Amino acid sequence: MTYVNLQTDSDGIQWLEKDPDAQLDFMFDWAGQEHGNWSDDWLQPGEVISSHTIEMPANADGDLILDSDAPIQDQKAVIVWLSGGTVCESYDIVCRIVTNLSRTDDRTMRIKVRER
Protein backbone atom coordinates (compact mmCIF):
# COMPACT_ATOMS: atom_id res chain seq x y z
CA MET A 1 0.00 0.00 0.00
CA THR A 2 1.08 3.57 -0.55
CA TYR A 3 2.03 5.14 2.79
CA VAL A 4 5.12 7.11 1.80
CA ASN A 5 5.05 10.76 2.93
CA LEU A 6 1.62 10.55 4.60
CA GLN A 7 0.96 13.99 6.01
CA THR A 8 -1.99 16.01 7.32
CA ASP A 9 -3.13 19.36 5.92
CA SER A 10 -4.23 22.22 8.18
CA ASP A 11 -7.87 21.15 7.68
CA GLY A 12 -7.10 17.70 9.13
CA ILE A 13 -7.26 15.74 5.86
CA GLN A 14 -4.46 13.22 5.36
CA TRP A 15 -2.71 13.44 2.03
CA LEU A 16 -0.25 11.62 -0.16
CA GLU A 17 1.71 12.60 -3.24
CA LYS A 18 1.23 10.86 -6.57
CA ASP A 19 3.13 11.25 -9.82
CA PRO A 20 0.77 11.75 -12.80
CA ASP A 21 2.36 8.80 -14.61
CA ALA A 22 2.02 6.40 -11.66
CA GLN A 23 -0.76 3.90 -11.03
CA LEU A 24 -0.81 3.41 -7.25
CA ASP A 25 -2.85 1.78 -4.51
CA PHE A 26 -4.16 3.81 -1.58
CA MET A 27 -5.89 2.35 1.47
CA PHE A 28 -8.74 3.61 3.62
CA ASP A 29 -8.32 1.65 6.86
CA TRP A 30 -10.93 1.35 9.62
CA ALA A 31 -8.83 -1.09 11.69
CA GLY A 32 -5.50 0.72 11.60
CA GLN A 33 -4.26 -0.39 14.99
CA GLU A 34 -5.09 -4.03 14.24
CA HIS A 35 -3.25 -3.75 10.91
CA GLY A 36 -0.28 -1.93 12.44
CA ASN A 37 -0.81 1.20 10.33
CA TRP A 38 -2.43 3.72 12.69
CA SER A 39 -2.99 4.26 16.37
CA ASP A 40 -6.70 3.41 16.54
CA ASP A 41 -9.45 1.08 15.34
CA TRP A 42 -12.80 2.56 14.38
CA LEU A 43 -14.49 -0.82 13.87
CA GLN A 44 -15.86 -2.65 16.89
CA PRO A 45 -14.83 -6.28 17.59
CA GLY A 46 -16.57 -8.53 15.05
CA GLU A 47 -17.59 -5.58 12.85
CA VAL A 48 -16.69 -5.60 9.14
CA ILE A 49 -17.40 -3.47 6.09
CA SER A 50 -20.57 -4.68 4.33
CA SER A 51 -20.50 -2.17 1.47
CA HIS A 52 -18.50 0.81 0.31
CA THR A 53 -18.64 3.58 -2.28
CA ILE A 54 -15.88 5.78 -3.63
CA GLU A 55 -16.67 9.39 -4.48
CA MET A 56 -14.29 11.03 -6.92
CA PRO A 57 -14.03 14.84 -6.77
CA ALA A 58 -15.67 17.03 -9.40
CA ASN A 59 -12.30 18.57 -10.30
CA ALA A 60 -10.96 15.13 -11.30
CA ASP A 61 -12.87 15.61 -14.55
CA GLY A 62 -11.50 12.39 -16.01
CA ASP A 63 -7.83 13.24 -15.46
CA LEU A 64 -7.53 11.40 -12.12
CA ILE A 65 -8.93 7.94 -12.75
CA LEU A 66 -10.29 5.41 -10.27
CA ASP A 67 -9.05 2.18 -11.85
CA SER A 68 -10.49 -0.16 -9.23
CA ASP A 69 -11.59 -0.46 -5.61
CA ALA A 70 -12.23 -3.40 -3.29
CA PRO A 71 -12.54 -4.35 0.38
CA ILE A 72 -9.36 -5.91 1.79
CA GLN A 73 -7.83 -7.14 5.05
CA ASP A 74 -10.79 -9.21 6.23
CA GLN A 75 -13.25 -6.52 5.08
CA LYS A 76 -11.82 -3.91 7.46
CA ALA A 77 -10.22 -1.65 4.85
CA VAL A 78 -10.84 -0.50 1.27
CA ILE A 79 -8.15 -0.22 -1.39
CA VAL A 80 -8.37 2.12 -4.37
CA TRP A 81 -6.12 2.09 -7.42
CA LEU A 82 -5.64 5.53 -9.00
CA SER A 83 -3.91 6.65 -12.18
CA GLY A 84 -3.41 9.96 -13.94
CA GLY A 85 -3.99 13.37 -12.43
CA THR A 86 -2.85 16.87 -13.31
CA VAL A 87 0.41 18.22 -11.90
CA CYS A 88 -0.14 20.78 -9.09
CA GLU A 89 -3.77 19.68 -8.56
CA SER A 90 -5.15 18.20 -5.33
CA TYR A 91 -8.03 15.74 -5.26
CA ASP A 92 -10.17 14.77 -2.27
CA ILE A 93 -11.37 11.17 -2.60
CA VAL A 94 -14.11 10.03 -0.21
CA CYS A 95 -14.73 6.44 0.85
CA ARG A 96 -18.07 5.77 2.53
CA ILE A 97 -18.64 2.45 4.28
CA VAL A 98 -21.61 0.69 5.83
CA THR A 99 -20.83 -2.05 8.33
CA ASN A 100 -22.55 -5.28 9.34
CA LEU A 101 -23.70 -3.36 12.46
CA SER A 102 -25.42 -0.75 10.21
CA ARG A 103 -22.94 1.98 11.08
CA THR A 104 -21.85 4.42 8.34
CA ASP A 105 -18.63 6.39 8.11
CA ASP A 106 -16.79 8.54 5.56
CA ARG A 107 -13.05 8.99 5.21
CA THR A 108 -11.41 11.56 2.95
CA MET A 109 -7.93 11.24 1.48
CA ARG A 110 -6.27 14.06 -0.43
CA ILE A 111 -4.06 13.15 -3.39
CA LYS A 112 -1.59 15.85 -4.44
CA VAL A 113 -0.19 15.29 -7.91
CA ARG A 114 3.47 16.20 -8.26
CA GLU A 115 6.17 15.37 -10.80
CA ARG A 116 8.85 13.21 -9.19
Residue 5 or residue 83, greater confidence? 83
Which range has highest mean pLDDT (10-19, 30-39, 58-67, 89-98)?
Answer: 89-98
At 116 the pLDDT is: 78
Q: What is the pLDDT of residues 82-91, one digit of tens each?
A: 999 999 999 9
At 107 the pLDDT is: 93
At 4 the pLDDT is: 52
Q: How far is CA 72 from CA 25, 28, 61, 66, in A?
A: 12, 10, 27, 17
| Three-state DSSP state, 80 | strand
At 5 the pLDDT is: 61
Cα 54 to chain centroid, rounded: 9
DSSP for residue 110? E
